[in-house]
Amino acid sequence: MSFERMFRDWPLTHLREVKMIRSYSVTTDILSYKRCRRQYGFFNVRGYRSSSATQRYFGTMVHDVLDQLYRMYKKTKRLPDGREVVDCVEKAHVRLIQSGVRAVYTVQQKEQIVTLIRRFLELAGQPFFANIRETEYTLERSMDGDGAPDFVLEGIVDVLAGAVSHALGLEMSRSTTGNDVEIWDYKSGEMPAADSQLMADYQYQMNVYAELYYQQTGIYPARCVLMFIGELNNDRLYNRCRADIRELRHILHVIHPSDEQIGRAMTDFRQTVACIEGEKQLPYATQWQAPNHDVDRDTCIACELRYHCPKFSDRDRHRREPL
């Protein structure tokens, strides 16, 4: 029997477009994409893997140790002493090294972390820990793509706190109350320049978290606070502050979420999601090209794709070097 005869009663149906609602995080997706779409596409979308993990050591250690110390505080209702801080740092170090994070000069780095954490506890420990509501608080919400594909917005907030600022007596352009909700985010380094891209990224992240928190709870946080623990490394400033955190101007950066800022951040977020989704629809060979905008050199130097990336001016030299 011919195929024509065989299938003359074949039911015609149209190919169904498969809908996919993907999750996007501020840091892992949006800021990574904005920083360099090529790097984002290769590592976050296509699934190439890099084994380098050196840069994560210090920041991860600070996060882990603060988290553990808070848990100890929750159980005992007292601030950990110096010995406990050292033990906690040592444990966190062993875990990190065992988990494959590579680090250099770990003895010095550990000592530095112990110093920073001890100073932090001395300056802010009690009011800070006493007002923490949640740590590593997950925010997640499905969002209307507004013409672009819908998506799930996700983020993890380091600390969701009550009125730490109120308890610390920080001077604010807006008044504080004991019922304030605050989002706190630890940064292990020093405060970047006010007009730097890094600072802009941090603020963007906080504005999106504020909106996400609102979407989830119906209220905006009173403020978002970036805490630059690395500022405590400056002995001169530390000694001069006389145990008063308010004297250290650069340790805390407070963001009061405004409709305008949040609106701008969310519009940008949606546009970036649309760009990423659009990129996935392009022919394979033209996806994830090097970006048209400038990429900072540190990003390129840390990127394993630099040996052939048109954005990295030294690519030929780096590639041809032996090993």
Partner 1 sequence: MKPVTLERFFAAMQTAHNGILPLDPQQKLAFHHDYRTPLWMIAGPGTGKTHTITWLVLKRMLVDRIDPSRIIFTTFTNKAANELQTRLIDHYQKLLQAGLVEAMSIDPTKIRLGTLHSICTNVLREQRYEPTMRINLLDDENKQKFFLQKTYPDWRHPNPLLKKENAGRLKLLLEFFQFWWDGKKQGFDPPSSRKVEFVAKLFSRAIENHVGIEPLRRSTNVNLQFLGEGLQDYHNKLAHFHFTDQSMIQKHFLDFLNSEDGREWIGSGFTMFVDEYQDTNPIQSEIYFALTGRRGDLSVVGDDDQSLYRFRGATVESLILFDQICMAKGLSRPQPLYLFENRRSHPAIVDWINRFISTHPTMHPIGSSMRVRAPGKPNIVSRSNIRGQYPALLALTNDSIGTRDDHDALKAANLIQYLKTNHLIEDYSQVAILSFSTAEDSAGLAAYTSAFRAAGIPYFNPRSKQTQEHPVFRQLLGAISLILQPEHEHHVQPEFAIRKNWNYLVECRQMCRTLCATHRELAAYIETSVEEIRQKSTIFRAKNSRYPEYLTNSRGRRVSFSHLWFKLIGFEPFLSQLSDMHVAEKLKALNNLIVGFEAIYDQGELKLATAGSPTLVDGNNVIEFCNIFIDALIGGVNEPEDDESAVRKGYVNIMTIHQSKGLEFDVVFVLKSNRTAFASDTHGIERIINPLRPPHLRNPHMRSDEERVAEDNFRLYFVAYSRAKKLLCINGVFPLAIDDYKLRMNPWGRVLPHTERRAMIGNVQELRKIGVTIL
Instruction: Supply the angle between the helices 56-76 and 106-120 in degrees, to the nearest 10.
Output: 40
Range in contact with partner 1 (rule: CB under 8 A) among 61-69, 106-114, 124-132, 161-169: 61-69
Give whichever of 1 and 219 is closer to partner 1, judged by the CB atom.
Answer: 1
Instruction: Decide: is 194 part of the binding site for partner 1 (CB under 8 A).
Output: no
Paired tokens of 1: 């029997």
Query: In the range 21-60, which residues lie near partner 1 by CB under 8 A?
Result: 21-23, 46-51
Stretch of 3-11, 25-33, 111-119, 164-172 contacting partner 1, by CB under 8 A? 3-11
Tell me the window of 190-198, 223-231, 246-254, 312-320 that interacts with partner 1 (CB under 8 A).
312-320
Can you tell me the distance from the alpha carbon of 39 to that of 36, in angstroms, rounded to the nearest whole number? Answer: 6
Q: How far apart are CA 139 and CA 248, in angstroms?
A: 30
The angle that helices 197-217 and 259-281 make with each other, rounded to 10 degrees, is 100
Beta bridge partners of 138: 156
Nearer to partner 1, 178 or 283 (CB): 283
In the complex, the smallest distance separating the C-beta of residue 169 from partner 1, rounded to whole angstroms, is: 31
Single-letter residue type at 16? R
Total residues contacting partner 1 by CB under 8 A comes to 56
**CB nearer partner 1, residue 3 or residue 171:** 3
Nearer of residues 296 and 316 to partner 1, judged by Cβ? 316
At what angle are helices 82-98 and 106-120 packed, to 10 degrees?
140
Using the minimum distance from each CB to partner 1, give the nearer residue, 293 or 308. Answer: 308
Kindly report the number of other CB atoms within 10 A of residue 229's CB atom: 22
Q: Is residue 219 near partner 1 by the rule CB under 8 A?
A: no
The first and second tokens of residue 14, run together, are: 């149209």
* Helix, strand or coil, per DSSP, at residue 191: coil
24 in Cβ contact with 152 (< 8 Å):
yes
Smallest separation (angstroms) from partner 1 to the CB of 167: 25
Neighbours of 223 (CB within 10 A): 24
Q: Which helix (H) or strand (E) holds 6?
A: helix 3-6
To partner 1, the closest distance from the beta carbon of 166 in angstroms equals 28
Closer of 186 and 307 to partner 1 (Cβ): 307
**Least distance to partner 1, CB of residue 243, Å:** 30
- Coil, helix or strand at residue 92: helix
Residue 12 found at the interface with partner 1 (CB under 8 A): yes
Instruction: Pick the closer one to partner 1 by CB: 143 or 168.
Output: 143
Nearest to 156 by CA among 255, 309, 23: 23
Q: Which of 147, 242, 243, 284 touches partner 1 (CB under 8 A)?
A: 284
Which of positions 65-84 make contact with partner 1 (CB under 8 A)?
67-68, 71
- Residue that has been written with the tokens 């600022």 in this structure: 165
Task: Quote the longest CA-to-CA distance of the chain.
Answer: 96
Of 29, 64, 180, 182, the residue at the interface with partner 1 (CB under 8 A) is 64
Binding site for partner 1 (CB under 8 A): 1, 3, 6-15, 18-23, 46-51, 64, 67-68, 71, 95-96, 98-100, 102, 136, 138, 140-142, 144, 150, 152, 154, 216, 284-285, 304-305, 307-308, 315, 319-323
